């Protein structure tokens, strides 16, 4: 990095937890962030489709006086349609909470809990998976993404509507302490240090593969592979 250049980040982690990562940019360069709000696979596929994905934008150092302009230009370049300003620290904390919460961790835990209960009560793997995952991802979640949860509640059957309205506050109350603990652990740096420690071990890849294999071979996701193979679009390919 030579004077006058721009150092670009796609995540705030390295700067937000620089005390642990050791990443300290030179003082004579612009330091900016453009963080697309989606997986790399989604960012790429939407870009190729001519669509965009939301992205947050932040400036850590503005030496040139043009760092903000450059950051938003980079966001446009990677296909971000909607951009919003933040800081490296807030982007990092909110993203880590989201990944461990409603984006992946909490969803995986909820899926397992509901599937296991249905199976324990005598429901078949196909029925348990369809009522837990398939209907959510193939029918309801896309509608929620398109129209909002309020629309989904208004558009569903009266039995689903009444049950969802009654049980949503119970889930919120039960999960609120877990989300608070999660946020605290991310904000105080403990989660970052755990991540750095785990990912720095020499046996990281082997240990990760064991964890992923356990998930891959669990009954819920074996049932999922079978159900996905029976989708009409997949049958047409055979």
Q: Kind and range of the H or E element at 36? A: strand 30-36
Predicted TM-score (pTM) of the model is 0.91
Q: Which pLDDT tens digit goes with each residue over 75-92?
A: 998 888 889 999 999 999
Identify the pLDDT of residue 237.
59
Rounded Cα distance between 173 and 195, Å, is 28
pLDDT tops 70 at residue 238? no
Q: In what order do the strands lie in the sheet with 83-85?
A: 6-9, 30-36, 55-61, 83-85
Identify the pLDDT of residue 90.
97
Identify the pLDDT of residue 50.
83
pLDDT tops 60 at residue 15? yes
Non-local (6+) Cβ contacts of 39 within 8 A are none
Q: Give the mean pLDDT of 14-28.
A: 96
Identify the pLDDT of residue 201.
96
Q: Which pLDDT tens digit goes with each residue over 207-234?
A: 999 999 999 999 999 999 999 999 888 8
Number of Cβ within a 10 Å radius of residue 227: 17
Identify the pLDDT of residue 81.
81
Rounded Cα distance between 169 and 165, Å, is 8
11 flagged as catalytic: yes
Non-local (6+) Cβ contacts of 124 within 8 A are none
Q: Which two tokens stand for residue 164?
A: 């969802």
Rounded Cα distance between 172 and 97, Å, is 16
Q: Which of 11, 112, 123, 207 is catalytic?
A: 11
pLDDT tops 60 at residue 125? yes
65: left (phi over 0), alpha (psi -120 to 50) or beta: left
Angle between the N-to-C axes of helices 190-200 and 158-187, in degrees from 0 to 180, rounded to the nearest 10: 80
Mean per-residue pLDDT over the chain, rounded: 94
In contact, 43 and 52? CB cutoff 8 Å = no
pLDDT tops 80 at residue 9? yes
Burial of 113 (0-12, 13-18, 19+ CB in 10 A): exposed
Q: Give the mean pLDDT of 113-124.
A: 98
In contact, 31 and 67? CB cutoff 8 Å = yes
CA atoms within a 13 Å half-sphere pointing along the CA-CB vector of 211: 7
Nearest alpha carbon to residue 5 among 61, 84, 43, 79: 61
191-208 burial by CB neighbour count: b if 16+ within 10 A, else e?
A: bbeeeeeeeeeeeeeeee
Identify the pLDDT of residue 176.
98
In contact, 58 and 41? CB cutoff 8 Å = no
Nearest alpha carbon to residue 59 among 82, 93, 25, 102: 25
């Amino acid at each position: 990095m030579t004077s006058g250049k721009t150092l670009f980040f796609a995540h705030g982690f390295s700067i937000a937890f620089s005390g642990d990562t050791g990443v300290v940019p030179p003082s004579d360069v612009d330091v900016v962030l453009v963080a697309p709000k989606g997986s790399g696979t989604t960012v790429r596929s939407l870009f190729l489709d001519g669509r965009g994905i939301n992205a947050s934008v932040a400036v850590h150092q503005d030496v040139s006086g043009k760092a903000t302009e450059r950051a938003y230009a980079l966001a446009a370049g990677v296909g971000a349609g909607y951009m919003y300003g933040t800081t490296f620290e807030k982007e990092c904390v909110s993203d880590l909470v989201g990944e461990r919460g409603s984006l992946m961790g909490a969803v995986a835990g909820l899926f397992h809990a509901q599937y296991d209960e249905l199976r324990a009560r005598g429901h078949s793997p196909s029925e348990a998976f369809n009522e837990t995952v398939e209907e959510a991802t193939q029918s309801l979640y896309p509608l929620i993404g398109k129209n909002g949860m309020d629309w989904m509640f208004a558009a569903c059957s009266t039995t689903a509507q009444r049950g969802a309205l009654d049980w949503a506050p119970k889930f919120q109350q039960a999960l609120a302490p877990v989300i608070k603990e999660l946020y605290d652990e991310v904000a105080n740096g403990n989660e970052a240090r755990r991540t750095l420690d785990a990912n720095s071990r020499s046996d990281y890849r082997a240990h990760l593969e064991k964890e992923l294999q356990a998930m891959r071979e669990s009954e819920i996701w074996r049932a999922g592979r079978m159900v996905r193979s029976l989708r009409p679009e997949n049958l047409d390919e055979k």
